[in-house]
Structure 1
């Protein structure tokens, strides 16, 4: 069988690009197949999303040469985080840590715009000799068999490899064609996201405000600019979408009880339907799932990107080790090991997030009472708080 490359990756988003960067020193050839045009990979447009990165994700991005490609002024420290429930002023507070991953730390994590991460990931990979990127290219069909994988492109070209990765999205057609089922959860909610300027300092503190009827998350960027995330039931989405910038700013100021002073919209606002997904397994014959093709998280716990980056890093290490030992990079035993490692990490986060959402978006009287009790218990039980902080910092 003639090979186009050792590994074919469907999808050149952050997960696919990170995997390619992570196997750069392995001697393996990698081809990424991406539907978007090259111009979009080189200069991704602003899409409203700010990504909360753990200390572990920063370490991975530094190792892959991505971190230093983001302008320092575009990396924002996330000092601490607070959670509010309903109309109560009581706060569950996760203070600024003194250490993370055994090292001194002065913040819970970092915020970087999604488009800046995508641009840095592309730039880190574009200069690597063993990586080929086929942009503006659609996949028609994927097939795997005992000794390799085939990808049929929309123009009928056929690419062959020893290992195939799906990194295309939580709605991955590649995953479906590999026969891997998934548990998909439509939250029937829509997220609106963009930047707002305000007159009072955000003190680099993130807020998750579970108000009745809608949720507002505040992700601090500059001291007086905050990424504002408004989540509503989808049947209420039109009531947000129809607002002028001034009306939207007034609504957020009112919801926040003036916590950040006067508000002003300073970017385009973008909206996304919220759908979560976890695949039944993360591998198939000569194939594996990484990034959102493996797990698509609800953004409330800010772990989606971190989990996707971790999946790419975990699989890349196993594949590189196998290549260095002259072993089969697509062997079932290797892919099973990846599946076990990533599933151990992903399942508790995915199902824990869904349980949290179920409680904090339930507005029956008993649930409202329980919501308040959970916040107080979390605040006043140090072992639980320490465990959650450890998850936040990675």
Structure 2
């Protein structure tokens, strides 16, 4: 039980805000807006300059937002603006195969028509999501932004937390949240260690234009070097997340654009007609990294700072937004009960809620990658029979569809319909 005098002692510390959030990508701003609904004041510390975040250039990146994440963005007042730029995902097709061979579909087929809630998810480009979050933060009296700033020190104690910026400013708050990615400095400075490993794979990411319409169908092709995801964007465009072994990926990424496409075409197939690059290309080494704890004294981690996993199921941002929604839920309930929302007991509720779920998801993506990223004939037969069995059982298939939509399990309030 909390010390009855803790609240009075805690109140003696002067705070610049309620929550200091380190990381201005997507999860950090989303948390600031979610916390504002509970009346909590946040300062978002972003290492990137303000004009970089506010830019409207298309760089090829897009996110597969599960239905639960779409609900959350709607509850934050962002979806009306975002919906104009979103592409619904009506179907997901999963196929097992080899590079260059004709594809006979014998895999999984998930159709949104099998659930009552509508499309399983929506594809939204990074630029629109960033802009919507930035606009909402600018308009919120509960959110302060410190762009182009980096944290060099932090200290937590019974009265709150202090953070020192590289420019010399010292900020004080009740709670510190790390939303600063897989190499989270916030977690490292708190002494939180990580567990994980490299997959020996690199994700090649780009957007492509194609001749034929995609009809809102997302594809996941499993090939021995790694999976290839083709995710529909508005118009005749798709976002590509293409995993290859590290050495091969380095060689492919070094190629000029047309030679790059020549390598992609036999993997992609011709079902959408001819393809061309729509914008920039990126390459990201793939690894699994889990923080050994999601909380410490007056500190919580969200998103990749807590868990980074293989993009095989496209759940990275969705898992991060569920962290944000769960933490906002826990903090809001604590505020309404008059608790010190940054106390160990309150933060432990968040950790218990999210740590098992994210560890299970990371284990599942790790297993799927190991099971499918090989050409072992026995494993291939087993996985193809397994997918066929799921396809043949409507109840099981419906469960997978609801899981893909993010609407199963214990949902935070922001993600409920």
Asked if Structure 1 and Structure 2 have the same fold, meaning a TM-score greater than 0.5 normalized by the shorter chain, the answer is yes
Runs of 4+ in 1 over 3 A off after TM superposition: 44-47, 381-384
Equivalent residue in structure 1 for 2:107, among 60, 77, 92: 92
| 2:10 matched residue in structure 1 | none
| 1:67 matched residue in structure 2 | 79
User: For 2:113 and 2:269, how far apart are their aligned partners in 1?
Assistant: 31
Deviation for aligned residue 1:276: 2.3
| 2:135 matched residue in structure 1 | 123
Aligned pair 1:216/2:228, yes or no?
yes
Give the SS at the match of 2:221: strand
Is residue 203–residue 223 contact of structure 1 (8 Å, CA) maintained in 2? no
User: For 1:5 and 1:382, how far apart are their aligned partners in 2?
Assistant: 50
- 1:311-350 to structure 2, matched below 5 A, reads 311-350=323-362
Aligned pair 1:25/2:40, yes or no?
no
User: For 1:152 and 1:45, how far apart are their aligned partners in 2?
Assistant: 32
| 2:92 matched residue in structure 1 | 81
Is residue 225–residue 374 contact of structure 2 (8 Å, CA) maintained in 1? no
- 1:303-382 to structure 2, matched below 5 A, reads 303-382=315-394
Give the SS at the match of 1:91: coil
What are the Cα deviations for residues 206-241 of structure 1, in whole angstroms up to 9, with x where unaligned?
Answer: 111112334321111235222122211111123311
Is residue 153–residue 164 contact of structure 2 (8 Å, CA) maintained in 1? yes
What are the Cα deviations for residues 59-111 of structure 1, in whole angstroms up to 9, with x where unaligned?
Answer: 11011122223260x200111011111245233233322365xx541x22100
Aligned pair 1:387/2:399, yes or no?
yes
Give the SS at the match of 1:12: coil
User: What is the CA RMSD across the aligned residues, in angstroms?
Assistant: 1.9
Is residue 52–residue 111 contact of structure 1 (8 Å, CA) maintained in 2? yes
Is residue 226–residue 372 contact of structure 2 (8 Å, CA) maintained in 1? no
User: For 1:222 and 1:118, how far apart are their aligned partners in 2?
Assistant: 17
When residues 94 and 363 of structure 1 are mapped into structure 2, their CA distance, relative to the original with a 3 A threshold, is same
What are the Cα deviations for residues 374-394 of structure 1, in whole angstroms up to 9, with x where unaligned?
Answer: 322332333432222111111
Is residue 182–residue 279 contact of structure 1 (8 Å, CA) maintained in 2? yes
Is residue 147–residue 286 contact of structure 1 (8 Å, CA) maintained in 2? no
| 1:161 matched residue in structure 2 | 173
Deviation for aligned residue 1:28: 2.3
Is residue 155–residue 162 contact of structure 2 (8 Å, CA) maintained in 1? yes
Deviation for aligned residue 1:302: 0.9
Is residue 252–residue 263 contact of structure 1 (8 Å, CA) maintained in 2? no
Is residue 42–residue 143 contact of structure 2 (8 Å, CA) maintained in 1? yes
- 1:144-183 to structure 2, matched below 5 A, reads 144-183=156-195
Is residue 322–residue 329 contact of structure 1 (8 Å, CA) maintained in 2? yes
Q: Which runs of 5+ in 1 are unaligned?
A: none
Aligned pair 1:233/2:245, yes or no?
yes
Deviation for aligned residue 1:40: 1.6
- 1:270-281 to structure 2, matched below 5 A, reads 270-281=282-293
Is residue 19–residue 312 contact of structure 1 (8 Å, CA) maintained in 2? yes
| 1:195 matched residue in structure 2 | 207
TM-score (norm 2): 0.88
Q: How many residues align?
A: 390
What are the Cα deviations for residues 222-272 of structure 1, in whole angstroms up to 9, with x where unaligned?
Answer: 352221222111111233113332233333332233222211222121111
Deviation for aligned residue 1:138: 0.7
User: For 1:44 and 1:289, how far apart are their aligned partners in 2?
Assistant: 29
What are the Cα deviations for residues 9-36 of structure 1, in whole angstroms up to 9, with x where unaligned?
Answer: 1112211111110121333221111110
Is residue 94–residue 389 contact of structure 1 (8 Å, CA) maintained in 2? no
TM-score (norm 1): 0.93
When residues 33 and 59 of structure 1 are mapped into structure 2, their CA distance, relative to the original with a 3 A threshold, is same
When residues 255 and 141 of structure 1 are mapped into structure 2, their CA distance, relative to the original with a 3 A threshold, is same
- 1:290-301 to structure 2, matched below 5 A, reads 290-301=302-313
What are the Cα deviations for residues 136-176 of structure 1, in whole angstroms up to 9, with x where unaligned?
Answer: 10100112112211111112322111111111101101101
User: For 1:56 and 1:39, how far apart are their aligned partners in 2?
Assistant: 30
When residues 10 and 256 of structure 1 are mapped into structure 2, their CA distance, relative to the original with a 3 A threshold, is closer
